[in-house]
Chains A and B, each alone.
Chain A
Amino acid sequence: MQSWVGPVALYMLRGLELTAILAVVCSCASVLLGMLLGSALVAKPPFVRATVRLFVELWRGLPLIVILFAIFFGLPAFGLRLGASAAAGVGLSLWGSAVIADNVRGVIQSIPAGQLEAARALGLSWMKAMLLVILPQAIRRLLPPTLNLVTSLIHGTSLAAQLGALELLESGRRLIQRLLLSVGDGHSLAIFGAVLVVYFCICYPLVLGSRWLERRQQAG
């Protein structure tokens, strides 16, 4: 093993820390906001539905990198100056919540309308019928797509590097430059390869988990 491997791994571990924080925070924010928005997508008032629909389609339709750049460069004009990782976090959360919202809508609509009607006929309010009858079933079906979204969010955190946030990819990039200056030859293949492998090791269990859940639910 070459002498540079130890310090490099240590430095990249710090990058991995920001990647993990971003991924966890954005996943939680996406799920919370996405559930709310998703419920609004099946709400009765057409105005609410249309507004939320527009919001969801906008974020879902744009390349993630464009969203991140727009937030990073756009918010300061409103007097809100965010750091690179905060801007990336906001962008990823908005995008993730739009994806979750659409999944929530799909799942809720896949539950037969008769159930909501029956619950309403029994005297439950719309809110209570949703909370007690529809949501418990929906959450079970939501788990696989949500795990897939978490994987996408983890992938998405790598885009924060383009804003300059010191996450896993950016830590690798900086190390490559430093090694080039100090040692004098390139280490891009090894370091970017290592970054790919780390992402694989983190995301593959999630992918497998999502597939397992999906198979189990199809089996009934």
Chain B
Amino acid sequence: MNFGYDLDFWYLVQHGRELALGLGWTVAITAIGGAGGAVLGFVGAVVRVERVKGLSLLVAALVEFIRTTPLFVQIFFLYFGLPEIGLDLDALSVACVALVIWGGAYNVENFRAAIESVPQAWRETASALGLRRGQIFWLITRPVALRIAMPSLTNTAIEILKGSALMVAISFPELTDTGINLVAVSFRVFEIFIALAATYLFLAAGLARGMRALESRLAWPG
């Protein structure tokens, strides 16, 4: 079958440098978003679980708002809205900040659920053994909760990877933006979208694999 369109995958090789650069940016902002989001999420979850006065309610409200509004609009708000109050961020900073905050909001809930599912009896046992509150949290609750949270952290990390494609809105040169720009000048629609799709599926699969490997490495015997 031929729809008057000849597939020419050589085109991708010719523009391999641009695409590789886009891939690099996608990986970079996903890594920053994933790592930053995990740290932010953990801190937020501790604030929520420990019911830190004043902060806890603020974190809860922010998490609800961020999770209930589209990331795409949040990016516009950060990139075009914030400069009006003197916070002028470039596209790379907005990409990172948006993904860290958005991923962080999801991770607050992931970690909170994990912390709350650590058996109460374990904490009581630790307390009976004479551990102080901080020690119980750091030595018992934290390591157990981290392991419980791993599958949901993986899901959020994959969503951050997919969210990184939205940076096309602010012309940040990640993979999707690079691809769209190539489509605009060459009309090589199918070659480019097949390459984009394959790359995202491959990245998501790789991310899931890596996280699972980390999970089994962290797992305690028995």
Which residues of the other chain, A, contact B82 by a CB distance below 8 angstroms?
Answer: 189
Which residues of the other chain, A, contact B130 by a CB distance below 8 angstroms?
Answer: none
| Contact code string A60-101 (vs B, CB < 8 Å = 1, else 0) | 011111100110011001110000000000000000000000
Interface residue count on the B side (C-beta < 8 Å): 41
Which residues of the other chain, B, contact A196 by a CB distance below 8 angstroms?
Answer: 65, 69, 73-74, 77
CA distance A74 to B189 in the complex (A): 6
Please state if A188 and B74 are interface contacts (CB–CB under 8 Å): no
- A residues 158-217 near B (Cβ < 8 Å) are 158-159, 161-162, 169, 173, 176, 186, 188-189, 192-193, 195-196, 199-200, 203-204, 207
- Minimal beta-carbon separation of A63 from chain B (angstroms): 4
Residue of B73, B189, B197, B201 near A158 (CB, 8 A) is B73
Please state if A61 and B204 are interface contacts (CB–CB under 8 Å): yes
B134 at the interface (CB under 8 A from A): no
Residue of B4, B162, B166 near A62 (CB, 8 A) is B162
A58 at the interface (CB under 8 A from B): yes
B75: nearest chain-A partner, CB-CB = A192
A151 at the interface (CB under 8 A from B): yes
Tell whether A63 pairs with B77 under 8 Å between CB atoms, given A70-B197, A199-B70. no
Which residues of the other chain, B, contact A203 by a CB distance below 8 angstroms?
Answer: 68-69
Please state if A204 and B73 are interface contacts (CB–CB under 8 Å): no
Please state if A169 and B200 are interface contacts (CB–CB under 8 Å): no
Please state if A65 and B68 are interface contacts (CB–CB under 8 Å): no
Please state if B64 and A204 are interface contacts (CB–CB under 8 Å): yes
B13 at the interface (CB under 8 A from A): no
Which residues of the other chain, A, contact B3 by a CB distance below 8 angstroms?
Answer: 77-79
Tell whether A199 pairs with B197 under 8 Å between CB atoms, given A77-B5, A207-B68. no
A140 at the interface (CB under 8 A from B): no
CA distance A155 to B73 in the complex (A): 9
Which residues of the other chain, A, contact B176 by a CB distance below 8 angstroms?
Answer: 63, 65-66, 69
| Contact code string B143-185 (vs A, CB < 8 Å = 1, else 0) | 0000000000000000001111110110000001001100100
Please state if A62 and B189 are interface contacts (CB–CB under 8 Å): no
Interface residue count on the A side (C-beta < 8 Å): 37
- Minimal beta-carbon separation of A112 from chain B (angstroms): 24
- A residues 19-75 near B (Cβ < 8 Å) are 58, 61-66, 69-70, 73-74
Which residues of the other chain, B, contact A176 by a CB distance below 8 angstroms?
Answer: 80
Which residues of the other chain, A, contact B169 by a CB distance below 8 angstroms?
Answer: 162
- Minimal beta-carbon separation of A34 from chain B (angstroms): 19
B196 at the interface (CB under 8 A from A): yes
Which of the listed residues B3, B73, B83, B180 has the most CB atoms from chain A within 10 Å of its own CB? Answer: B73
New A-B pairs, 9, CB < 8 Å, besides A169-B76, A186-B80, A188-B81: A58-B201, A63-B162, A65-B166, A73-B193, A159-B72, A169-B72, A192-B76, A207-B67, A207-B68
Q: Could you list 13 examples of A-B contacts with CB < 8 Å?
A: A62-B162, A62-B197, A62-B201, A66-B197, A74-B193, A77-B3, A155-B70, A155-B72, A169-B73, A193-B77, A199-B68, A203-B69, A204-B68
Chain B: residues with CB nearer than 8 A to chain A?
3-5, 64-65, 67-74, 76-77, 80-85, 161-166, 168-169, 176, 179-180, 183, 189-190, 193, 196-197, 200-201, 204
Chain A: residues with CB nearer than 8 A to chain B?
58, 61-66, 69-70, 73-74, 77-79, 151, 154-156, 158-159, 161-162, 169, 173, 176, 186, 188-189, 192-193, 195-196, 199-200, 203-204, 207
